[in-house]
Amino acid sequence: MAMMVMLSLALLAGVCATAMHWLGPVHRPMDRVLPPVVSALLAGLVCALWLRPAWVGVITRIALCLSALTLMAPAWLYTVQASLSPDVRLIDTLPPMSSLFAVFMAMLMIFVPGRRAYVAAAVGWLLVASPVLVYLLTHPGELGTPRGVDLAMAFGPASLMLVVLLPVQRGLMGKIQRLASERDGIEVQLHRDPLTGVNSRLFGERVLRDVLARGGTAGLVMLDLDRFKAINDTYGHPAGDGVLRVVAATCARLLRPSECIARWGGEEFLVILPDVDPGALHGIADRLRVAIAAVPVAPVAQVTASLGTALLHPADTLDTALQRVDRALYRAKELGGNCVCAGEGGPTAGSGSLRERGSVKIPSLEVL
Ligand SMILES: Nc1nc2c(ncn2[C@@H]2O[C@H](COP(=O)(O)OP(=O)(O)OP(=O)(O)O)[C@@H](O)[C@H]2O)c(=O)[nH]1
């Protein structure tokens, strides 16, 4: 975007310079040729950037080279001309290019990456500013005039100041990039559960709030591992952690990218399913139950889960939706675990829970 604005402004300046030189009283060949040629090239670059934004790197390099040539040509031509003709003074013939030179140096600093910016600034200065400075220093009569002093300042100390600012600008950019990547890292940490790698409760709540705000048909599944404390007590916490990781990965694999699973508490997970009908909601919950019961979780022989489901209603808040799905989970626990219960209000509420019981064993704690 910055490059597009710069190119458009340069094009505007080129068109104005073309009009001024063609309509003005003094007609010098370079002034009549250079501005229209540069304007046409700039128009080409603007079109290229518009059509192919991905080419911004190449277009920037071409624009910088074009700017260097546009400044270099009059600087050398008029300096050589003034040096060779005693009756021609550089301060009278050199176009008003000192401010453009400052813009060119600033562009080098911003758009040339890394240490190459210093080399580019030095080359740019040598090509554009040095002939004018050398001329002025060898012609004290012209240096003593207001225009001479102005040119000497612009091409000498002022451009040096711009280059000195370069490390400051680089340092600030590096700092901004570091802060941005740190912020991204913190965001990831906040949104990911560090143990299981699925979404955190914070992120789950955010998704649920979004789903509730959007309305439409969406469903929740609250999933709690059965007798998890016994696994911890028998095999130790690291084994319990391993079980949580395997269960989370198994569930995440079964879900679509638009669906969300978040670790809600110790051994409890919430699945948020946007755009789901009651039948599909129950089907997905049961697929999760079956998959958990079937997954190997050595050294534990088998792990099962109880699941509650709830369809969201338009009047639901975060609390009412979670209360309903929690009550459904509680009923599934009361039925002995390893089953799915639908929240009241849902079409399969209460009924069918026992029929959804798996034929798999309730968790045993045998070592495989
Ligand atoms: N390994 C491990 N255990 C955890 C973690 N967070 C919570 N727990 C344990 O999970 C267990 C949960 O115990 P309970 O709430 O009694 O649940 P339960 O044993 O599954 O009983 P039911 O849910 O009624 O089947 C506790 O022993 C917690 O210490 C964790 O991050 N890692």
For residues 56 and 99, state if they share a domain: yes
Residue 267 contacts residue 275 (beta carbons within 8 Å): no
Ligand 1 pocket test: pick from 195, 222, 232, 329 the residue with the most ligand atoms within 8 Å of its Cβ: 232
Closest by alpha carbon to 69, among 106, 29, 97?
97
Q: Is 56 helix (H, G, I), strand (E, B) or coil?
A: helix
Condensed to tens digits (0 to 9), the pLDDT of residues 17-45 reads: 888 888 877 667 777 888 889 899 999 99
Distance from the alpha carbon of residue 264 to the mean position of ligand 1, in angstroms: 12
For residues 267 and 178, state if they share a domain: no
For residues 93 and 62, state if they share a domain: yes
Distance CA(111)–CA(333), nearest Å, equals 63
Distance from the alpha carbon of residue 230 to the mean position of ligand 1, in angstroms: 8
For residues 110 and 170, state if they share a domain: yes
Domain range for 235: 201-342
Q: How many separate domains does the chain show?
A: 2
| Strand 340-342 versus strand 305-311 pairing type | parallel
Cβ-based neighbour number of residue 271 at 10 Å: 27
Pocket around ligand 1 at a 6 A CB cut-off = 195, 224-229, 232, 237, 240-241, 244, 266-267, 333, 337
For residues 65 and 115, state if they share a domain: yes
Tokens of 135: 């001329």
For residues 225 and 175, state if they share a domain: no
Residue type for position 153: M
Q: Is residue 196 part of a domain?
A: no
Q: What is the pLDDT of residue 360?
A: 33
Distance CA(134)–CA(139), nearest Å, equals 9
For residues 6 and 50, state if they share a domain: yes
Closest by alpha carbon to 218, among 293, 174, 284?
284
Q: What is the pLDDT of residue 61?
A: 87
For residues 332 and 273, state if they share a domain: yes
Distance CA(202)–CA(190), nearest Å, equals 7
Q: Would you give the distance in Å from CA 292 to the centre of its chain? A: 36
Bridge partners (DSSP) of residue 262 are 199, 270
Q: Is residue 348 part of a domain?
A: no
Distance CA(283)–CA(204), nearest Å, equals 21
Q: Is residue 86 part of a domain?
A: yes
Closest by alpha carbon to 200, among 186, 214, 183, 212?
186
Q: Is residue 357 part of a domain?
A: no
Q: Is residue 194 part of a domain?
A: no
For residues 11 and 86, state if they share a domain: yes
Q: What is the pLDDT of residue 26?
A: 67
Q: Is residue 101 part of a domain?
A: yes
For residues 207 and 177, state if they share a domain: no
Q: What is the pLDDT of residue 356?
A: 41
Tell the residue number behind the tokens 């209360």, with chain if given.
323
Q: Is residue 68 part of a domain?
A: yes
Give me the CATH number covering residue 279. 3.30.70.270
Beginning with the edge strand found earlier in the chain, give each strand of the sheet holding 218-225 in spatial order: 260-263, 268-274, 218-225, 305-311, 340-342
Residue 79 contacts residue 90 (beta carbons within 8 Å): yes
For residues 137 and 253, state if they share a domain: no
Backbone dihedral angles phi then psi of residue 159, each to the nearest 5 degrees: -70, -30
Q: Return the HEC string of 200-233.
A: CHHHHHHHHHHHHHHCCCEEEEEEEECCHHHHHH
Tell which of 130, 152, 187 closes a domain: 187
Residue 207 contacts residue 272 (beta carbons within 8 Å): yes
Q: Is the ipTM of this complex over 0.90?
A: yes
Residue 105 contacts residue 163 (beta carbons within 8 Å): yes
Cα–Cα–Cα angle for 67, 71, 73, nearest 5°?
115
Q: What is the pTM of this model?
A: 0.59
For residues 183 and 209, state if they share a domain: no
Q: Would you give the distance in Å from CA 82 to the centre of its chain? A: 53
Ligand 1 atom at shortest distance from the alpha carbon of 239 = 1
Q: Enumerate residue ranges in the chain where pLDDT < 70.
A: 26-27, 345-368
Q: Is residue 367 part of a domain?
A: no
